[in-house]
Chains A and B, each alone.
Chain A
């Protein structure tokens, strides 16, 4: 039979150990871990580590991951954003289903889209009326793209079939066939439209 001997520590000793511990952890976790992982990530995946930016004619015109506001009839429109698609102010509407303000907003948007696309309310996919969680969701559902195809084709004087083909080309399927929802990246689709338009003009 024995009783374990425990160390006798003073208050000052306990506080010193705690202080050493805190400083060491700031060094190891905060500085060593953060810097080494960040630098290694940047080294292995340079483009993705710096925000997946897209350049056109040497100018940065967006990030694949960040929705832009589109207003013109010539472009596909992004989902509604509670923060005007501002990546520095990201966030959702935080409106509860029971909040009359949500109903008002959706009603106004629904009327606007019915008018713009010339369709009835029952044809509008939910994601085109619902504000995204981030406020910068870069995607819309394939149905929401299809809804806008006729209007974009008219505004650009294009064959609507061609626009639908372009949507199909830019529809991302679930990753590895397993993860996520089918979706269309609005910025990529619009850039493809612009690129196609340029090619067409050159041919004329």
Chain B
């Protein structure tokens, strides 16, 4: 328990100054770091052919975001499809099927990193360390740029003083924001972290796999092939950018990807570092300390409840081991060097933040911890993914402001700007969207048993399908990995869910922010709704929980809750639910 508190506290203490630095980076004001980074940035702007001072309204900002994704996506799809003909492939890895290449390209383009392949076995060094690493840098930077633009919109845009009423506002320059995120934030952090990880034993080499003669002569196989490669560089940005796609199949459970408890602590902190820092950044950008504290409290409360439930659950024995071993914590799918607590903490953070990396196999978690992973992904705003997490959180805030406004009988306003029909229509779409995507696809897949690909019977089999679509929509990327998901149905249906789960939850809030930015600001009076009070915080938490309960309670009952009840009452014939 002490270790969990230590890790969480360290993350918060690092996130605070980092959030302040991020606010400075995006303000564009002169900064001490200019001397180091400005020459590279200016070079990139010149090569891009853009004028960094040129602002964009929400339409141009959104269009630049979508165009850059379209082109980058096509390019990456081509590179993955042709990987077997391209250089940097010392282990001679073969081609990917077109649907797998498409799923992989979209999955990494949407910052999801859902993997229907097994890293070291199916991708070349070029695919992993150039193609995927690039997306792991660029996609969090893109979402962070959208988040920054939304925050600027909530304050009326840049150069708000003297702007004409109801005119489109300047939300910043998309390419400048992305380049600054990569150059000033992600790359220095990732480089530092990669070296720390190598010091703990994460491979960092361009040599091919190592061949090993085994020690015990009495075992059948006499050789072991240990795949190596430029692993550390990828693992660092995988953790920092809420990406989650690892070098090796079992991700950070693999001792080569996460060798020591210290590397585990570093990787765990990296999962939540930027999402936490974004909250502080928002406080500085909005110049509203109270709002940032309220956000921290709401997220922190939900996060702590989930961590508690998950740790409690994993300290309990795995039902299948009853009377066959000492009564101890659930160790199936876990590593001895981490044990139950650190595995449960990671499982909670990785699903709350849309990271999706794992250090233990989620399929073998006890049902309550399995439920917690689903809660994190469905809410998707407890810390949340880099950039997109806070945007999702703002959506919940806007909804709560509207509901609270109705309850106290006043026009709903946020920072003096009215939330009206246009905003509410868009917010309504955002509430319905996850329900539609996740539940409809889960239902279709379960209706055709031949395509489910589930590997566990009963309620857990339903969970596997539900989990996969939840993870795709939340752009999380973790999985109940027993699922046989490299099939055309899974690859293509997940592509649809991935795209809807990425672009609508980023573009619709940008539209809302663009529309809020144009509004005349009403003066704050004693009758205005205050957002920095415990009352608002608890209302917000209730709204988050009620919305998700209403949408997903039935599906959870058929999945983890059903499994928990069945395990408590082992005589139930669970296989009748799904063979």
Contact = CB atoms under 8 A, between A and B. Distances in A.
7 contacts: A17-B175, A61-B215, A97-B364, A100-B457, A130-B321, A130-B332, A143-B326
Nearest to A126: B328
A169 interface: no
A176 B358 CA distance: 24
B92 interface: no
Interface string A70-93: 111001000100001111111111
B254 A94 contact: no
Contact of A6 (B55, B203, B204, B360): B55
Interface of B: 2-3, 6, 44, 47-51, 54-57, 60, 63-64, 67-68, 70-72, 75, 118, 120-121, 129-131, 133-134, 136-138, 157, 159, 162-165, 167-170, 175, 178, 182-183, 187, 190-191, 194-195, 198-207, 209-219, 221, 224-228, 230, 232-234, 236, 248-250, 253-256, 259-262, 264-265, 317-321, 323-326, 328-339, 342-343, 358-361, 363-364, 366-367, 455-460, 463, 480-482, 563, 566-567, 574-575
Given A38-B205, A71-B219, A134 B253 contact: yes
B146 to A, nearest CB: 15
Interface in A127-148: 127-141, 143
Interface in A114-167: 121-141, 143
A48 to B, nearest CB: 5
A36 B90 CA distance: 19
Nearest to B55: A4
Given A49-B203, A49-B204, A92-B361, A183 B337 contact: yes
Contact of A4 (B50, B163, B187): B163
Contacts of A14: 63-64, 67
Contacts of B210: 50-51, 53, 60, 63
Given A21-B72, A99-B457, A126-B321, A137 B203 contact: no
Nearest to A139: B336
A88 B120 contact: yes
B103 to A, nearest CB: 19
A96 to B, nearest CB: 4
B134 A129 contact: no
A98 B255 contact: no
A106 B65 CA distance: 51
Interface of A: 1-4, 6-7, 9, 14-26, 28-31, 33-38, 40-42, 44-45, 48-53, 59-66, 68-72, 75, 79, 84-100, 102-103, 106-107, 110, 121-141, 143, 174-176, 178-181, 183, 187, 190-191, 194
Q: 5 tightest CB-CB pairs across the interface, nearest first?
A: A180-B261, A94-B482, A41-B204, A133-B253, A30-B130
B332 A17 contact: no
B250 A133 contact: yes
A134 B336 CA distance: 11
A126 B325 contact: yes
A88 B67 CA distance: 38
A25 to B, nearest CB: 5
A24 B51 CA distance: 16
Nearest to A50: B205
A183 to B, nearest CB: 5
Given A1-B164, A69-B214, A126 B221 contact: no
A138 B338 CA distance: 12
Given A18-B71, A29-B187, A68 B215 contact: yes
The CB with the most chain B CB atoms within 10 A, among A52, A69, A90, is that of A90
A172 B252 CA distance: 20
Contacts of B455: 94
B336 A127 contact: yes
